[in-house]
Copies of this chain bind each other. A is one copy, B any other.
Amino acid sequence: MAEANDPIARMALQLSRLPGIGQKSAQRLAYYIAGMPLDQVKDLAAALWQGRKALRFCARCGNYAQAELCPICQNEERRNGQICVVRDARDVAAMERMRDFKGLYHVLGGTLSPMNGVGPDDIRIKELLARLSTEDVQEVILATNPDIEGEATAAYLARLIKPLGVKVSRISYGVPVGSDLEYTDEVTLAKAMEGRREL
């Protein structure tokens, strides 16, 4: 069963394309799946495919959603005048795990990166400015990653938003420099929110 086109090799190939799954673990997983009851494999495959199909982006904040708006934007109680700006939808999940922030989000869908040709028009900055003029926003909390691109994006946004008379803050360096929001623990994230400073 070592042929490149056998079912187990095809499973392993697909699995090895996921992040953090090397060739060896992909093969190990493929053999495990080969030995799983049919209906369990069906549930797994269906969860991935149906799940991915069901997902779209919130028309307002850019978070993952199943309807026009994501559950957070649908929740009236979250309109507390704060918008937390993050890079990716998965950063929203990281912030939500903290259970501390009660406002809304805005997902940029990237960070400014001149080296990679990502300019202000390539991420959802226009959409953020539009929200500031239509929603009742007192504070924009910039929670992009504490790395070079995240910092540059935060500085750019601060320059853009402060003249509009909206308070702009940046999460504090409670988050270790150079790391990734997604992998930060809830306590550190909570500290970072608490120690945020106005820009």
Contacts and interface: CB of A to CB of B under 8 A. Distances in A.
A179 to B, nearest CB: 14
| Interface bin, chain A | 35 or more
A7 to B, nearest CB: 3
A1 B71 contact: yes
A31 B1 contact: no
Interface string A1-44: 11100111011011101111100010111111111101011111
A47 interface: yes
A75 to B, nearest CB: 12
Interface stretch (A62-70, A120-128, A162-170): A62-70
9 shortest interchain CB distances as A-B pairs: A7-B51, A45-B49, A31-B90, A41-B52, A45-B45, A14-B47, A14-B44, A7-B54, A11-B51
